[in-house]
A and B are shown apart, each in its own frame.
Chain A
Amino acid sequence: MFQIRIHGRGGQGVVTAAELLSIAAFLDGKHSQAFPSFGSERMGAPVTAFCRISEKEIYLREPIMEPNAVIIQDRTVIEPSNAFHGIVDSGFALVSSRAPVSCNNKSIRVSCIDAVGVAMEYIGKPIPNAVLLGSFAALTGIIKIDSVIAAIKQKFSGTIAEKNIKAACFAYDKTQKGDL
């Protein structure tokens, strides 16, 4: 089972990112489960969401405490949300940040992408989730980019879907080239 924890702030599409991941994994033929950190968080407050992906049916309902990967949509939540906590050895951390971010646990593979910058360019709004999912697909290979695209199409429509897909594909290519 591969477990992903997503951190960010209310309004950045954190819960949607987890949902999109789960839909993409489902479209890949896997079992997946996505759920939010069940709060009444308002815009701007730190938010956490979770996604489990597995070949088998998933029974587990506890929050993800030992993720294989974290996606951090806003570097300012790293400290308040303790975002690197519990990541398994040689796990992934994908951070939306222009500047490099370091983690005390050196076995964790930290990657940064200016997801807000890409989102502003392609979507026109500082919502970095699709960008990060594109990058995540390239980085981990856990989900296929085609499935990410299909998931975005399922959840959104029209130009919003198109713009998000373009942003995700751009991030996917950039990450594949190692150009982070």
Chain B
Amino acid sequence: MLCQLEGSQAIARAIALCRPKVVCAYPITPQTHIVEGLGELVRSGELSECEFINVESEMAALSVAIGSEAAGVRSYTATSSQGLLYMMEAVYNASGMELPIVMTLGNRTIGAPINIWNDHSDAMSARDAGWMMFFAETNQEALDLHIQAFKIAEKTKNPVMICVDGFILTHAYERVDIPSQEEVDKFLPFYSPEVCLDIEEPLAMGAMVSPDYFMEVRYIAHIKQMKAIETIGSISEEFFQKFKRKSGGFLREYEIDGAETVIVSMGSVAGTIKEVIDELNANGEKIGLLSLICYRPFPADILNKALKNAKKIIVVEKAFAIGIGGFLSREIELAIKDKEIVSVIAGIGGRNITRSMLKECFLQKNNNQSTKFLGLNEGIIEAQ
């Protein structure tokens, strides 16, 4: 059904269609509308047989989900920014324990200084935590990715984080196609884990592991996630077959054929980049876009193939590591050798990313900087 909805409400509807049994809610901007929406769906009975739990912190939010998932039921929570950091110990714990929790991250930067606006710093802080991570470009994709997320998580026994740009998507009203409960039920089976906390077949979870075993445990986790690339691809394909909509998978290509310069980005900024590409290519430029959807596992081979004809790669990234630079550009450097890669740090702490900024940046030739900061106000820097 086509609806004009706020992104957060679209996500809440998607989660409800997945019939979670436990939803843990703790407020943090800009994620809050999602759990509010779910609370309303539980209250109205649209989402039935679901325990909606108001917890006292993000640490508890994910910990409650760890407990309920360990006890064998589909569990969900959402957070942003500082909240993700506050629960970080549990983030690593959930993946280490192979618990297929699905969590939405309404992307927001990390303080200090405190700032509630969008960038990908929070997601990047969890990039090594063993979760699978996907970035949504539009609210439709956010909705679709959540439906796929439970299936991917439960099939691979690995938690999944869906990253949705805070405010830009979470608070934006746009058109979304909401599938019916029957359609989702056909796609996403009832969750029944092979093992869980069960009095009939007692087992211990989360035991200590000594140096004799630990490295193997970690190695297996790595191999499992790399192998999940297959699963992610097939689930995206199945989604397309069932819902007649391309969503999920690894990356989305735009004007890539014959492109000499390829922009790589994650999340909602792809929309503005597409507008810029249309304008520039109409004037004879050859620019394309790769919007990376699946960030973990990192689909290096798929990226490599998609970028093989590019002469220059510009990575527009909404986060960077102080003391080294962009995350995504460095990871792309690992996948792609011998090509010019420019890192453009953009939209930090909610700084607007406009067409004019991007246009100027994409047209710049012979730059000797490998890292650029889009829209940096030199005046402020000099005054300091």
Given A35-B167, A35-B168: A62 and B173 interface contact (C-beta under 8 Å): no
Of residues A18, A27, A32, A38, which shows the largest number of chain B Cβ atoms within 10 Å of its Cβ?
Answer: A38
Q: Does A177 contact B (CB under 8 A)?
A: no
- B105–chain A nearest beta-carbon distance, Å: 17
Q: Does B118 contact A (CB under 8 A)?
A: yes
Q: Which of B143-151, B266-274, B361-369 participates in binding chain A? A: B266-274
- B206–chain A nearest beta-carbon distance, Å: 38
Q: Is the CB of A35 within 8 A of B171?
A: yes
Of residues A33, A59, A61, A63, which shows the largest number of chain B Cβ atoms within 10 Å of its Cβ?
Answer: A61
Q: Is the CB of B172 within 8 A of A33?
A: yes
Q: Is the CB of B271 within 8 A of A35?
A: no
In the assembled complex, the Cα of A35 lies from the Cα of B270 at a distance in Å of: 17
Which of B167, B175, B353 lies in contact with A26, CB distance below 8 A?
Answer: B175
Given A62-B355, A65-B354: A38 and B171 interface contact (C-beta under 8 Å): yes
By a CB distance below 8 angstroms, the chain A residues around B168 are 35, 38, 61
By a CB distance below 8 angstroms, the chain B residues around A27 are 4
Interface string of B275-291 (1 = CB under 8 A from A): 10000000000000000
Q: Is the CB of B269 within 8 A of A58?
A: no
Q: Is the CB of B272 within 8 A of A60?
A: yes
Q: Is the CB of A61 within 8 A of B353?
A: yes
The total of chain A residues at the interface (CB under 8 A) is 22
What DSSP secondary structure best describes chain A's contact surface? mixed
The total of chain B residues at the interface (CB under 8 A) is 28
Interface string of A26-68 (1 = CB under 8 A from B): 1100011111101010000000000000000011111101000
By a CB distance below 8 angstroms, the chain B residues around A61 are 168, 268-269, 271-272, 353
In the assembled complex, the Cα of A38 lies from the Cα of B118 at a distance in Å of: 9
By a CB distance below 8 angstroms, the chain B residues around A62 are 272, 352-355
Which of A22, A31, A40, A63 lies in contact with B352, CB distance below 8 A?
Answer: A63
Q: Does B49 contact A (CB under 8 A)?
A: no
In the assembled complex, the Cα of A73 lies from the Cα of B171 at a distance in Å of: 21
Closest to A26 in B: B4
By a CB distance below 8 angstroms, the chain B residues around A33 are 172-174
Q: Does B141 contact A (CB under 8 A)?
A: no
Q: Is the CB of B271 within 8 A of A36?
A: no
Q: Is the CB of B167 within 8 A of A38?
A: yes
Q: Does A23 contact B (CB under 8 A)?
A: yes
In the assembled complex, the Cα of A84 lies from the Cα of B45 at a distance in Å of: 46
Q: Does B93 contact A (CB under 8 A)?
A: no
- State which residues 105-152 of A face B: CB under 8 Å: none
- A169–chain B nearest beta-carbon distance, Å: 21
By a CB distance below 8 angstroms, the chain A residues around B3 are 26
Given A38-B350, A61-B268: A32 and B355 interface contact (C-beta under 8 Å): no
Q: Does B6 contact A (CB under 8 A)?
A: yes
In the assembled complex, the Cα of A65 lies from the Cα of B274 at a distance in Å of: 18
Q: Is the CB of A19 within 8 A of B173?
A: yes
Closest to B140 in A: A57
In the assembled complex, the Cα of A22 lies from the Cα of B6 at a distance in Å of: 10
By a CB distance below 8 angstroms, the chain A residues around B353 are 61-62
Closest to B167 in A: A38
Q: Does B116 contact A (CB under 8 A)?
A: yes
- B255–chain A nearest beta-carbon distance, Å: 12
Which of A22, A35, A60, A63 lies in contact with B4, CB distance below 8 A?
Answer: A22
Q: Is the CB of A59 within 8 A of B171?
A: no
In the assembled complex, the Cα of A60 lies from the Cα of B276 at a distance in Å of: 9
In the assembled complex, the Cα of A34 lies from the Cα of B168 at a distance in Å of: 10
Q: Does B26 contact A (CB under 8 A)?
A: no
Can you show 25 pairs from A to B with CB atoms below 8 A apart?
A22-B4, A22-B174, A23-B4, A25-B4, A26-B3, A26-B4, A31-B174, A32-B173, A33-B172, A33-B173, A34-B172, A34-B173, A35-B167, A35-B172, A36-B171, A38-B117, A38-B168, A38-B171, A38-B350, A40-B29, A59-B270, A59-B274, A60-B271, A61-B353, A62-B353
Pairs of residues from A and B, 9 with the lowest C-beta to C-beta distance, nearest first: A26-B4, A59-B271, A38-B167, A34-B173, A35-B172, A22-B173, A62-B354, A59-B274, A23-B4
